Every structure is written in structure tokens, then in C-alpha cells.
Amino acid sequence: MAEMWISMGPQHPMTHGLWTLKVKVDGETIVDADPELGYLHRSVEKMGERRKYFMNTTLTDRLCYASATTWTHCYTHSVEELMNVEVPVRAQYIRTIMLELQRLASHLMWAGAYMPDLGHITGALYFWRDRELFLNLLELPSGSRLLYNYVRIGGVKRDLPVGFEGKTERILKLFEQRLDEYADLFENSKIFRMRTDDVGKFTADQAKNLGITGPNLRGCGTKFDLRKHDTYEIYEEIDWDISTREAGPGYSDCFSRYMVRIDEMKESVRIIRDCFKKMPAGPTMASDVPVRAQGEAFRRTEDSRGEAMMYVVGDGSDRPYRWKIKSPMFTTISACPHYLKGYKLADVPAIMGSIDICIGETDK
């Protein structure tokens, strides 16, 4: 059979978002790939130039809707650097807790979307059932299940409700038990290993050159996590470890990337517990947040999917002059010919699922 281009998408059950992946196959083996984006481009950067600084937090939630708090936090962190605002300590603890809860919800969403790609529909329902627990938790302080607008410039919108710590502890205990149960169903399952071992390999050096960061890079064995290496909020006071896995010396495959995220979920549980132990009382919002800003600033944070950066330029007015968003998935998707070549067509969902794509942040 001759080589032909097969277009997966934009309407496709597998693609986790609205984009087109064209693969060139020779029989069953992939020879080339050509991704196309832009279906979800909402010109967030241009819109941000028209709105005032504090109005943009609603836009940033919608950048990656599966992991909304981390993007809002990246924006507010950059703007606080620009405006020289000091966030009170209690607000930093609350932000850390919300970020880690959001990371758990985002990883559970990814896992629940990854399982049906491999054919395991029960896995989807189990992971999304657990995600419901965390969405209910996130609803309590902020009032919304998916797009929170909770992290504001200078702190958080309001304090945690009474009883939040007890509820969180109960849910975390239940969640840990469930993760242990799922190990039998997923990691120790022979067929799951057959589908994900030695599939979608790339080395750490390739990843750094290609611009891949986050759990995908940690799956290659590189110990690099922005929460430790460019630390922000209160992460340096908390007792936690970076989780890395590798499929072999210096390279990753789908299974190691899967296991890295499961390990990260366990670490998030640890971080939340530690935060509750150490959290002081105090104000939750800075007392003087200016309205105008001048200069330029950038900050990078560890999003659920990689390194998220926001570069904000102010010209002295109350609206940003230029606001640039960096999404980790932008470069990862651009590199897809490198980790798709040589594998079979049936591996494409397994590989693209393990990369954890969210098109909202890619298309801005």
C-alpha cells in the first residue's frame, strides 16, 4: 500500500481538544506528522490589552479550562511582580492548596480521558468519579466547579470556609485508598503494559531541545520542577519531593509518563496535608493593590502540563500594554513528528494521550 495522509480531526473522539493531526502512513507505520492548530484561537492576548489588569483573571481561567487555577495564578503572579505587591502569607498557603487541588483535578481529567483511548472505558468512569470529589471541594471556597476566578491580584478572593480542612482530609484519605486499588487495574495489567511500554519514546536531551517540559520531561528521568527550581508561593517551606520516572537511561515512554503523573498526584496529597498543618492566620488579600503599573515582568509556574509563563508589559495605565502567554503544549505539539515517527497508527491515541494535550492554552 502506498503512503497516504490520514487526517485525524478536527472532529475525532481521540484528540482531546480541537485540532487536526495529519499523519502520513506507509501501511501501518507512521512516516510523518503535521499538526494544525488555531481552531480555538480566541485572541486572548489582544483582548487582555483592552481590559484592566484585574479583569483579566476571568480570561486566564478559560485558557486551559481543565486546569484553570494554575493559569490564573501564573497571571496574577506576573502582575504582582510588575506592580510590586506583597501577598500575605495566609493567602500564599491558600493559593498553594488550591493549586494542588487543581493539579489533582487536572491529572484525574487527563487519566479519565486517556483510558478510553486504550479501550478501557471503565477507567474513564473511575477517574472521573474521583474528579467529582475534588470539584466539589474546589466549589466550596470559590463557588464554581470549573472556572473559579478565585485567585486575585494580591491574594485570594475570600478565605476558606469553615470545615474545609476536615472535608479535604476525608476526601484525601478516600482518594489514596482508591489510587491503591487502581494500581491493580492499570499499572499491573499486562495488556496496559503491552500498549504503553516502549511506545512514544524520546530522550531527555531531545525533550529539552524540542521544548518539552513538565511531567513529560520528568518522565525521562530529569529532576526539574519549577516548584523547586524557580520557587514561588510557599513551596519551599513544604516538605515534598520531585517525582521522576524513566523507562530506561534518559528516555521516557508512555508508561513512565503515566506513572509520573500518578506519583505527582500522591505528592500533591502530601503537599495539601502539609499546608494545612502549617497554615497561619492572617489577611487573605494585600491591603494596597495599585491600579496602574509600569515596566515589564515575567514569571513562570509549574502548570499541570509543563512550564507556563506570562510576560506582562505595562505602560503606566491601568491596562496591560502587551501580555504574552507561553503554553507548554504549544511546543510539545509542534514536536509531534519526533515522537510519532516509526510507530504504528494504532499507537497514535496512546502517545498523544500520554502527552496530555489541552488545546485551550495552546490556541490562546
Partner 1 sequence: MSLFSVCRSMAEWTATNLLIPVFNFQAGLFPPFSNPAGSIADWLETDGGLNTLAWTYAVNIAFMIGMTNLILVIHLERKIAARIQDRRGPMLSLRSFRELGEDLAGEAPTWKFKDNYSGIGIVQNMVDGIKAITKELIVPAKADRFLFTMGPVIFISSSVFLLVLFPLSDRFAASSAPAGLMVIMAAFSIAPIGVLTSGWASNNKYSMIGGMRSAAQLMSYEIPLLLSMAGVFLLAGSFDPVTIVEQQQEGTWFFGLPMWNFIPQFIGFVVFMICILAEVERVPFDLPEAEAELVEGWTTEYSGIRFMFFLMAEYIRGFAGAAVATILFLGGWAGPWPVPPEIWFLIKVYLIIIFWIFIRWSVPRIRTDQILELGWKKLLPLSLINILIVIFMVEIYPYFSDIVNLPEVF
Partner 2 sequence: MNIDEFMQELSASKGVSNISKIRENVVKLDLSREDSQDFFIGIKSDFEHCSLISAIDNQPDFELVYHFSCIDNSIVVEDSDFAVMLEVHVYLKRESPSIDSISNIWFGANWHEREAFDLMGIYFIGHPDLRRVLLPEGFAGHPLRKDYVYEIHEEEW
- Residue 159 binding partner 2, by CB under 8 A: no
Binder among 192, 232, 251, 323 for partner 1 (CB under 8 A)? 192
Residue 349 binds which entry of partner 1, partner 2, none, CB below 5-8 Å type-dependent? partner 1
Q: What are phi and psi of 188, to 5 degrees?
A: -90, 10
Total site size for partner 2, rule CB under 8 A = 37
- Residue 291 binding partner 1, by CB under 8 A: no
- Residue 309 binding partner 2, by CB under 8 A: yes
CB of residue 346 to partner 1, shortest distance in Å? 5
Helical packing angle, 121-142 and 89-118, nearest 10°: 160
- Residue 233 binding partner 2, by CB under 8 A: no
CB of residue 61 to partner 1, shortest distance in Å? 29
Beta strand ranges found along 132-268 (DSSP E): 151-152, 155-156, 202-203, 251-252
Binder among 264, 347, 356, 363 for partner 1 (CB under 8 A)? 347
- Residue 266 binding partner 2, by CB under 8 A: no
Neighbouring CB atoms inside 10 A of 107's CB total 25
Show contacts with partner 2 in window 203-222 (CB under 8 A).
205, 208-213, 217, 222
Stretch of 7-15, 152-160, 302-310, 356-364 lying at the interface with partner 1 (CB under 8 A): 7-15
Indicate the burial class of 46 (C-beta count within 10 angstroms; 0-12, 13-18, 19 or more). exposed
Quickly list H helices, 36-88: 44-50, 56-61, 68-83
93 near 234, Cβ under 8 Å?
yes
165 near 140, Cβ under 8 Å?
no
- Residue 20 binding partner 1, by CB under 8 A: no
- Residue 335 binding partner 1, by CB under 8 A: no
Is the omega angle on the peptide bond into residue 10 within 30 degrees of 0, that is, cis? yes
- Residue 298 binding partner 2, by CB under 8 A: yes
Total site size for partner 1, rule CB under 8 A = 30
Show contacts with partner 2 in window 5-64 (CB under 8 A).
37-38, 41, 43, 45-46
List of residues contacting partner 1 (CB under 8 A): 4, 6, 12-14, 28, 115-123, 125-126, 129, 185, 189, 191-192, 194-195, 344-349
